[in-house]
Amino acid sequence: MPASTDGASSGGADPGGAPSTRSPRRVPTQRRSRERLARILHAAGELCAEGGLEALTMEAIAQRAGTSIGSLYQFFANRDTLVAAVAQRYVADLERLLAESDAAASEGAGDAPALPIDALVEAVLEPFVRFHRTHPGYFAILFAPQGSAALARLRGGVRQRLVRRVETLLAGRAPQLAAAKRRRLALTAVEAGRALLQYTEQSMPAGARRAMRAELRDMLVAYLGPWLAPSASGVELAP
């Protein structure tokens, strides 16, 4: 997609509204500047969650962040580079959360095979629920219909990371499964789980989300449970 042109009236978006891959104008070094940048990125995420990427403007971000529009342009040439920075921040935060969760799981690896399937699925889902509470614009930005190739690459990297994570879980719980079967199970669980969680976080009233997350957990338990039980019949074995 062509790079967008700078402009306060249009929010700096290109005709398709896709974030570009250009870097921010400067990286803040002082604490106050870093805090201002964090407010700007958080405000952009909140606004995307509320109205979608297509409705996002630099003026609205500045107002929500409690700063001047000139402050935004100190960091970003246009709306597209700002949105790309939000997406990159979200992915970095998610990677950090997964690393912490994996480290905790490694410490208690001896207990994992003994956990009931529903408790195991709940333990896998809970970090993502916490993540989306603090990163409300994740789905609206990374999965925007008019998203750029750069966002598609970010999504692809996150997908592969999550699939590998579930594959590792399956290998520990059901080592008798063929690698190809583990891959299909992991990919299906990740994509189905992502789609339902995205719908829950973007389209459901806040009061109904807890019940929908329970449905997501039950769906994954029903799908993965038979394959995670070592004595289950019909298990696809490695050749």
**How many CB atoms are located within 10 Å of the residue 233 CB?**
6
CA distance 3 to 10: 14
Q: Which residue has the tokens 């939000």?
A: 86
Both structure tokens of 7: 């402009």
Q: Can you tell me the mean pLDDT for 210-224?
A: 94
Whole-prediction pTM value?
0.78
More confident of the two residues 141 and 239:
141
For the packed helices 79-107 and 149-173, what is the interaxial angle rounded to 10 degrees?
A: 10
Q: Which residues pair with 103 in a beta bridge?
A: none
Q: Can you tell me the mean pLDDT for 79-86?
A: 92
More confident of the two residues 102 and 237:
102
**CB 104, CB 170: distance < 8 Å:** no
pLDDT number for residue 231: 55
pLDDT number for residue 15: 34
CA distance 170 to 199: 26
Could you read off the pLDDT of 140-185 as tens digits, one per residue? 999 887 677 888 899 999 999 999 988 988 888 888 899 999 999 9
Domain borders along the chain are 91-228
The runs of H, that is alpha helices, within 66-178 are: 69-75, 79-107, 117-134, 138-142, 149-173
CA distance 156 to 147: 13
Identity of residue 29? T
